[in-house]
Amino acid sequence: LLLQTLTNGINEAGKMALLTWEKEAGIELVQINGQRHYGGPPPGWEGGPPPAGTEVYIARLPQDIYENTLIPLFESVGKLYEFRLMMTFSGFNRGFAYARYASLQDAQRAIATFHRFQLRKGCAIVVCWSTQKHELVLNNLPAWMSQQELEARLQMVTEGIHSVTLHASPCQRQAKLAVLKYSSHQAAAMAKKTLMEGNLSFGKEGLKVDWLDPQLRKKLQLYEEEPSSSWVQGGKSPAVPRLVAQPLLLQNVLECLNMLCWKHRLRTPMFITRCVQVNPNGWQKFWYQVVIPGYHVPICGFTWVSPDRQEHSKQEKAKLVAALHILWMLGESLHSQLPAFPKVLKTF
């Protein structure tokens, strides 16, 4: 993956120096979804990860500087557990990085030493504590969106999701927003990038994602929460539903859908899925169409499928999203059965 990012003819001298350093130092760098990653843990590390609060944020980096300069520099004041450099598709860095140290003292020393450090003449970098934000807000969701479908799709396109809560949008009628809480700042940052690139689609334009603002959090507290998902674990606050440990299974969702169709004298749904786009980072966009004999129209949509999870094939994951979409849409149109619909979902 690293070699693929270094063959586009831009900043060749800097990239060749990086490859030489990587080989001589025995360093392995892995680039995934716009981040080039070292360590976590590094070679020779013993024991668990360092405690929370040991990560520093590095900004105002010259975009043609790479790890062969940055890692030795930041290792000179303490042991690095992890280093993440944000990258563009063209092979330049995006001007910022994160360094996680083995101890709080090492991180403090890095800030004291390198904040306003002249990396080049006239180029003073910024080094400060990482904010460790964990929560995102997803705006302009369609009004028909259910918590079950949103949770299922997010599980397939992002990693480390901890909880999801749906709210009526305080700014838009006929729209919803969701607060997404992730297990770490890194997971949340990766999810934000993934969602901003359009890897989640509900057939509605203008879907927006950003860090959760404290003022918006307070504003949402004034509004009534959506009813909690059937996936909330016993004893937990309904305002913070937690996902079940087991992922949704296609077979269970199809059984649920077939049961609903049978109750309304509809025949077994027929699925068509087709990959229509592949991103440079491996994401695949699928178009799907579901025809239910006896139902008045086919139902179509699009979904993005992640490249790195192995529990389903990509076709199966696209079919799972389509089946969840149909479950909700069918439940909406067959309005008289809507009160019983959540009970069916509990069988997942």
Give the pLDDT confidence score for residue 201 in this predicted structure.
67
Give the pLDDT confidence score for residue 219 in this predicted structure.
74
Lookup result for tokens 């860090």? 211
Between 302 and 222, the higher pLDDT residue: 302
- 135-212 topology per CATH: Alpha-Beta Plaits (3.30.70)
CATH class in words for 248-333: alpha beta
Between 44 and 282, the higher pLDDT residue: 44
Q: Which of the residue ranges 13-27, 244-258, 305-319 has the most confident prediction, judged by mean pLDDT?
A: 13-27
Instruction: Give me the percent of the chain exceeding a pLDDT of 70.
Output: 76
Supply 237's token pair. Answer: 């606050």
Residue range 196-214: mean pLDDT, rounded: 74
Give the pLDDT confidence score for residue 249 in this predicted structure.
67
Contacts of 25 by beta carbon, 8 Å cutoff, 6+ apart? none
Domain boundaries, the chain: 14-129, 135-212, 248-333
Q: What is the mean pLDDT of the chain?
A: 77
Q: Which of the residue ranges 10-19, 28-37, 82-91 has the most confident prediction, judged by mean pLDDT?
A: 82-91
Q: Please tell me if the domain spanning 14-129 has the same topology as the one spanning 248-333.
A: no
| HEC-encoded secondary structure of the chain | CCHHHHCCCCCHHHHHHHHHHHHHHCCCCEEECCEEEEECCCCCCCCCCCCCCCEEEEECCCCCCCHHHHHHHHHCCCCEEEEEEEECCCCCEEEEEEEEECCHHHHHHHHHHHCCCEEECCEECEEEECCCCCEEEEEEEECCCCHHHHHHHHHHHCCCEEEEEEEECCCCCCEEEEEEEECCHHHHHHHHHHHHCCCCCCCCCCCEEEECCHHHHHHHHCCCCCCCCCCCCCCCCCCCCECCCCCCCHHHHHHHHHHHHHHCCCCCCEEEEEEEEECCCCCEEEEEEEECCCCCCCEEEEEEECCCCCCCCHHHHHHHHHHHHHHHHHHHHCHHHHHHHHHHHCCC
Give the pLDDT confidence score for residue 232 in this predicted structure.
32
Residue range 293-304: mean pLDDT, rounded: 80
Q: How confident is the model at residue 97 (pLDDT cuts 50, 70, 90)?
A: very high
In CATH, which of 3.40.50.300, 3.30.70.330, 3.40.50.1950, 1.10.10.10 is domain 14-129? 3.30.70.330
pLDDT tens digits, 327-347: 766 655 544 343 333 333 333
For residue 29, give Cα distances in angstroms to 23, 101, 146, 189.
11, 17, 39, 19
pTM of the model: 0.50
Residue range 131-146: mean pLDDT, rounded: 82
Between 120 and 222, the higher pLDDT residue: 120
